């Protein structure tokens, strides 16, 4: 395996200002504070941590949705940290994101068909009307949506189906890297497994490289090959799935594991 | 009152909300009991009626045009018919509630202490100074460091976990006999969640109150609850002690929940088994067993016959609302537990599909 993405000493500081009338520069929130890791070809890398640990910011920096304050991101060996314009657009085709909230990440005024077809429009692909429709309907089938629902609007779909729309949109350009930021946290329990299994199936089918961000250790364990544990902008532990859950090295990782409800099952030792 | 009497007994509670689109049957005839010092976990997805049933216990659905029928007996007294003034005497006093989102449940303009003092003085005739001392004591009780300084801070100066502790402190202000906690840890990080759950357990031991914990998280109830009721589409579909519910679950929906959630122990290679479909409409719930459109083991007659919540043969404390034979259920769960998917389990158990009429 070779690295699809190499992240080196990545830093993101958000400046904070003090005072309402006279704004003075205060310090900076060090959201991501010197993070280095590789994303190997074809693996699922998990990033786990609590609110504010910098996991989403890291993902957004890799996607170039945020500008890094320092460090670099290399995609297939090329530094993309300072790319602009057309060159950035070309790289962006290769990486797509699935967002947490399937309600706010779909434009309510557009049909499902045009939402999933939007990446084609942006990149000028499948320009013929019939051709684009066919491509979109194939995608809908891939993610388990009924292609006949092409002309429906997001409000006609349940949360799980909307998340499938998000997945279809992300797959439209056949990206090499897929970043899923808390893709199931907003879904009902009985629906979560549908989306998790879909992501697993798609990954093996298309050989995708996935970064899976979650605060839920059980979900991370089910989905990921390697896992980075983040805390206050830093990676405190990066290990294979098996190593992390069998022999967690960092005290913070052990605290996280012990905090999973049902993990301290001294009273009840029976689930499964 | 003898110890054998339940503290709260809810009998055939129904809550309907008339809306433009039709009547929403949010709670559709549920019955349960809670005893002193015990914890009942109510598990369900959004729209299962778990929150509405508890809000109704506190009379909090009255303002929303809810139509309530059935009985809610608290220490033998029916709360359904009480006046708003009588209800105010109970709410926050004998029965208190902790809500899911601590930020929107605390008033941002008032100091945490002022809000605690208000809660104390609403039910106790004490001076402000005494109430303030009580507020400091309560903050200390829920483990907020330096409570005499913290009492003069505003909610925005508290972290999420501290706000939830402050909410619990407020709920405990008048030493309630019953604490209803609605998703008390859902908005919190897992390490903070663990602290809050431990705190609730400790306070229950010290104060002897009964707790109803409402959650979608089976892990949380596994840790905290003595008894568990699983709700689906406004009904209780299974109720049992926590031990029985996890060791011998009886309802296909409960099986679905248990098999669709990744755990820290389960096999990674064994795929999760999602529950197909989506939660049903509460305006036009499915005919017969409400779960039948999503149930892999449903028979044609299950679309016509509505199952009642009945004791499991041989386990009188374990109740389930399912039309499958007890023996078939037992064999199906054995298959599922061994890692088979529902189709394989069905084939192995050999439930014959009735020919469609």
DSSP-derived secondary structure letter, B203 = H
B45 with A189: CB under 8 angstroms?
yes
Segment B116-130 shows an average pLDDT of 93
A55, A259, A269: which to substitute to probe chain B, counting the most B Cβ within 10 Å?
A259
Which of A50, A190, A241 has the CB atom closest to B189's CB atom? A50
For residues B152 and B193, which has the higher predicted lDDT (pLDDT)? B152
Does the pLDDT at position A98 exceed 90?
yes
Model confidence pLDDT, tens digit, residues B294-341? 999 999 999 999 999 999 999 999 999 999 999 999 999 999 988 888
User: CB distance B223–A262 less than 8 Å?
Assistant: yes
User: CB distance A190–B220 less than 8 Å?
Assistant: no
First to last CA, chain A: 35
Confidence grade of residue B161 (pLDDT, cut at 50, 70, 90): confident
Confidence grade of residue A269 (pLDDT, cut at 50, 70, 90): very low
Does the pLDDT at position A266 exceed 50?
no
Distance from CA of A245 to the nearest CA of B (A): 8
Does the pLDDT at position B250 exceed 70?
yes
Segment B141-151 shows an average pLDDT of 91
Chain mean pLDDT for chain A: 89
Model confidence pLDDT, tens digit, residues A51-94? 889 999 999 999 999 999 999 999 999 999 999 889 999 999 99
Does the pLDDT at position A24 exceed 80?
no
Model confidence pLDDT, tens digit, residues A176-232? 999 999 999 888 888 889 899 999 999 988 889 999 999 999 999 999 999 999 999
Strand partners, B32: B10
Residue with token string 């859950």: A245
Beta carbons within 10 angstroms of residue A206's beta carbon: 15
For residues A269 and B298, which has the higher predicted lDDT (pLDDT)? B298
B170 with B116: CB under 8 angstroms?
yes
Distance CA(B219)–CA(B88), nearest Å, equals: 34
Does the pLDDT at position B251 exceed 70?
yes
Q: Mark out chain B residues that contact chain A at CB-CB < 8 A.
A: 45-46, 160, 185, 189-191, 193-194, 197, 216-220, 222-223, 242-243, 246-247, 256-258, 260-266, 268, 271-276, 278-279, 294, 337
User: CB distance A268–B45 less than 8 Å?
Assistant: no
DSSP-derived secondary structure letter, A149 = G
- Burial zone of A11 (CB within 10 Å; 0-12 exposed, 13-18 middle, 19+ buried): middle
- Contacts of residue A20, defined as CB under 8 A and 6 or more positions apart, other chains included, come to none
Residue of B nearest to A252 (CA): B191
User: CB distance A221–B268 less than 8 Å?
Assistant: yes
The reported pLDDT for the residue numbered B43 is 94
- Contacts of residue B213, defined as CB under 8 A and 6 or more positions apart, other chains included, come to B39, B40, B41, B42, B181, B184, B200, B220, B221, B224, B225
Which of A160, A222, A270 has the CB atom closest to B247's CB atom? A270
The reported pLDDT for the residue numbered A28 is 80
Distance from CA of B3 to the nearest CA of A (A): 24
The reported pLDDT for the residue numbered A138 is 93
User: What pTM, to 2 d.p., does this model score?
Assistant: 0.85
Confidence grade of residue B270 (pLDDT, cut at 50, 70, 90): confident
Give percent of chain B above pLDDT 90.
Answer: 63
Confidence grade of residue A271 (pLDDT, cut at 50, 70, 90): very low
Segment B146-170 shows an average pLDDT of 91
Distance from CA of A220 to the nearest CA of B (A): 9
Does the pLDDT at position A21 exceed 80?
no
The reported pLDDT for the residue numbered B353 is 52
Confidence grade of residue B203 (pLDDT, cut at 50, 70, 90): confident
For residues A29 and A60, which has the higher predicted lDDT (pLDDT)? A60
Please report, for residues B15, B55, B87, B122, B233, the alpha-carbon distance to residue B90 in angstroms, rounded to integers and kept in the order given. Answer: 20, 13, 5, 11, 29
Q: Give me the sign of the Cα torsion angle A196, A200, A205, A209.
A: positive
User: CB distance B279–A188 less than 8 Å?
Assistant: yes
Residue of B nearest to A270 (CA): B247
The reported pLDDT for the residue numbered B189 is 83
Model confidence pLDDT, tens digit, residues B91-117? 999 999 998 877 788 899 999 999 999
For residues B193 and A264, which has the higher predicted lDDT (pLDDT)? B193
């Amino acid at each position: 395996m070779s690295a699809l993405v190499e992240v080196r000493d990545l830093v993101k500081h958000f400046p904070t200002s003090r005072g309402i009338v006279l704004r003075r520069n205060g310090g900076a929130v060090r959201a991501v504070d010197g993070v280095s890791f590789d994303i190997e070809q074809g693996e699922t890398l998990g990033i786990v941590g609590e609110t504010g640990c910098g996991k989403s910011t890291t993902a957004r920096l890799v996607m170039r949705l945020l500008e890094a304050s320092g460090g670099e991101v290399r995609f297939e060996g090329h530094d993309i940290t300072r790319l602009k314009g057309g060159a950035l657009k070309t790289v962006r085709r290769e990486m797509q994101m699935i967002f947490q909230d399937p309600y706010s990440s779909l434009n309510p005024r557009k049909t499902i068909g045009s939402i999933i077809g939007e990446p084609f429009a942006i990149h000028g692909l499948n320009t013929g009307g019939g051709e684009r429709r066919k491509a979109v309907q194939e995608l809908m089938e891939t993610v388990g949506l009924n292609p006949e629902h092409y002309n429906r609007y997001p409000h006609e779909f349940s949360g799980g189906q909307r998340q499938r729309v998000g997945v279809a949109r992300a797959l439209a350009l056949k990206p090499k890297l897929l970043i899923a930021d808390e893709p199931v946290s907003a879904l009902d329990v009985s629906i979560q497994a549908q989306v998790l299994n879909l992501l697993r199936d798609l990954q093996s089918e298309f050989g995708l490289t996935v970064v899976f961000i979650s605060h839920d250790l059980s979900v991370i364990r089910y989905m990921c090959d390697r896992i980075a544990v983040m805390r206050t902008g830093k990676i405190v532990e990066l290990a294979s799935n098996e190593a992390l859950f069998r022999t967690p090295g960092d005290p913070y990782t052990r605290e996280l594991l012990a905090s999973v409800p049902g993990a301290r099952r001294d009273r009840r030792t029976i689930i499964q | 009152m003898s110890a054998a009497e339940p503290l709260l007994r809810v009998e055939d509670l129904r809550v309907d909300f008339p809306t433009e689109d039709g009547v929403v049957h949010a709670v559709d005839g549920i019955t349960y009991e809670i005893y002193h010092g015990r914890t009942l976990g109510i598990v369900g997805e959004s729209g299962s009626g778990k929150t509405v049933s508890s809000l109704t216990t506190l009379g909090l659905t009255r303002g929303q045009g809810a139509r309530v029928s059935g009985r809610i007996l608290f220490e033998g007294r029916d709360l359904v018919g009480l006046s708003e003034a009588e209800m105010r005497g109970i709410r926050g006093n004998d029965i208190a509630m902790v809500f899911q989102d601590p930020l929107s449940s605390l008033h941002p303009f008032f100091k945490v202490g002022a809000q605690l003092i208000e809660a104390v003085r609403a039910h106790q005739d004490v001076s402000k100074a005494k109430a303030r001392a009580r507020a400091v004591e309560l903050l200390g009780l829920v483990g907020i460091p330096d409570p005499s300084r913290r009492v003069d801070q505003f909610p925005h100066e508290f972290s999420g976990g501290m706000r939830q502790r402050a909410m619990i402190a407020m709920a405990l202000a008048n030493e309630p006999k019953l604490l209803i906690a609605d998703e008390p840890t859902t908005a919190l990080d897992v390490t903070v969640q663990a602290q809050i759950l431990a705190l609730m357990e400790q306070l229950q031991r010290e104060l002897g109150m009964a707790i109803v914990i409402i959650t979608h998280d089976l892990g949380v109830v596994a840790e905290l609850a003595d008894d568990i009721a699983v709700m689906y589409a406004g009904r209780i579909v299974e109720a049992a002690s926590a031990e029985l519910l996890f060791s011998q679950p009886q309802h296909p929906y409960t099986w679905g929940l248990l098999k669709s959630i990744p755990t820290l122990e389960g096999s990674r290679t064994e795929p999760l088994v999602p529950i197909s479909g989506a939660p049903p409409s509460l305006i036009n719930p499915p005919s017969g067993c409400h779960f039948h459109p999503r149930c892999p083991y449903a028979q044609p007659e299950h679309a016509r016959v509505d199952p009642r919540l009945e004791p499991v043969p041989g386990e009188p404390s374990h109740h389930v609302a399912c039309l499958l034979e007890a023996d078939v259920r037992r064999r199906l769960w054995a298959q599922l537990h061994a890692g088979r998917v529902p189709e394989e389990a069905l084939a192995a158990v050999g439930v014959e599909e009735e020919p469609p009429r």
